């Protein structure tokens, strides 16, 4: 048994941690449009559960017709949210921290390594991810708009200033700390927004880091389970379509 969770230790399992009887529940969407499939943020706590061998169940809701009760758990109605016994957690970063508290695999107990992991976790969410989200907006959702074309060069230059320190760190280190932690789960997930961009390709250590994260069996199981839910749920009919 794992004393932190009172659950059987199931690390290094080759089977998915998805288990309808699990105590941990992750709220996810039953279906999203193609461009978002494999990127929805419930992937982050799913991946963490897989790394740590923490069983979880999924609760699927509709992105088009979010249930009213869900706004009491996630004020913006976004995913993911996580329930664990009486605890309700929202924001993917908070779900990662919660799971980190349950598993030393995800968040070291040693004070120095723990502070390092938490610092990088916040860096992923606060320093690295915001300009990458803007990049997605400029190159995908607003592509073709005049303002987006004007914004792109300065945004790319800014993103390079965010990637350069990561590149330095990852040139000599496989993960942000000594071993993979919730910080890497957050950072790799954020960097995936650049998957098809030269910005990532031109930073070879950071590129290899993202590939290393995605190659992990735990990541593969997590993404397969997210995609399996979409495959089970047909695309909803749009109004007026
Ligand atoms: N800061 C939030 C963002 C969550 C978020 O943007 N979730 C997206 C899916 S990846 C969502 O629920 N989108 C639908 C919506 O906003 O209505 C977190 O990290 O949990």
pLDDT in tens, 45-72: 999 999 999 999 999 999 999 999 999 9
Tokens of 159: 């993103």
Atom 17 of ligand 1, residue of closest alpha carbon: 78
Distance 112 CA to ligand 1 centre (A): 31
pLDDT tens per residue, range 148-170: 999 999 999 999 999 999 999 99
Phi, psi of 234 (to 5 degrees): -65, 155
Contact 218, 43 (CB under 8 A): no
Q: How far apart are CA 217 and CA 238, in angstroms?
A: 36
Say yes or no to pLDDT of 9 above 60: no
State if residue 73 touches ligand 1 by the CB under 6 angstroms criterion.
no
HSE of 37, CA atoms in CB hemisphere, 13 A:
14
| Ligand 1 center to 74 CA (angstroms) | 10
Fold held by 24-106+219-232: Glutaredoxin (3.40.30)
For the stretch 77-119, pLDDT in tens is 999 999 999 999 999 999 999 999 999 999 999 999 999 999 9
Topology of domain 111-215 in CATH is Glutathione S-transferase Yfyf (Class Pi); Chain A, domain 2 (1.20.1050)
What pLDDT, on a 0 to 100 scale, did the predictor assign at position 154?
Answer: 98
Q: What is the pLDDT of residues 37-46, one digit of tens each?
A: 999 999 999 9
Determine the distance from the C-alpha atom of residue 115 to the mean position of all C-alpha atoms in its chain, rounded to a whole number: 20
Alpha carbon 183 to chain centroid, angstroms: 10
Q: Where are the domains of the chain?
A: 24-106+219-232, 111-215
């Amino acid at each position: 048994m794992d004393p932190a969770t009172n659950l059987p230790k199931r690390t290094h399992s080759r089977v998915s941690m998805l288990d309808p009887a699990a105590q941990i529940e992750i709220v996810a969407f039953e279906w999203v449009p193609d461009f978002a499939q494999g990127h929805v943020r419930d992937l982050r706590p799913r991946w963490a559960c897989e790394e740590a061998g923490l069983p979880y169940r999924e609760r699927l809701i509709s992105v088009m017709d979010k249930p009213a009760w869900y706004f009491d758990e996630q004020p913006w109605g976004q995913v993911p949210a996580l329930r664990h016994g009486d605890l309700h957690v929202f924001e993917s970063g908070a779900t990662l921290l919660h799971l980190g508290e349950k598993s030393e695999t995800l968040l070291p107990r040693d004070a120095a390594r723990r502070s390092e992991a938490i610092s990088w976790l916040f860096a992923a969410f606060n320093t690295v991810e915001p300009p990458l989200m803007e990049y997605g907006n400029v190159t995908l959702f607003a592509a073709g708009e005049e303002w987006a074309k004007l914004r792109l060069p300065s945004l790319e230059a800014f993103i390079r200033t965010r990637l350069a320190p990561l590149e330095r760190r990852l040139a000599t280190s496989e993960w942000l700390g000594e071993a993979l932690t919730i910080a890497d789960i957050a950072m790799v997930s954020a960097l995936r927004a650049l998957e098809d961009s030269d910005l990532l390709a031109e930073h070879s250590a950071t590129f290899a880091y993202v590939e290393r994260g995605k190659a992990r069996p735990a990541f593969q199981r997590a993404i397969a389970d997210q995609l399996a839910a979409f495959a089970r749920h047909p695309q909803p009919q749009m109004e007026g379509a």
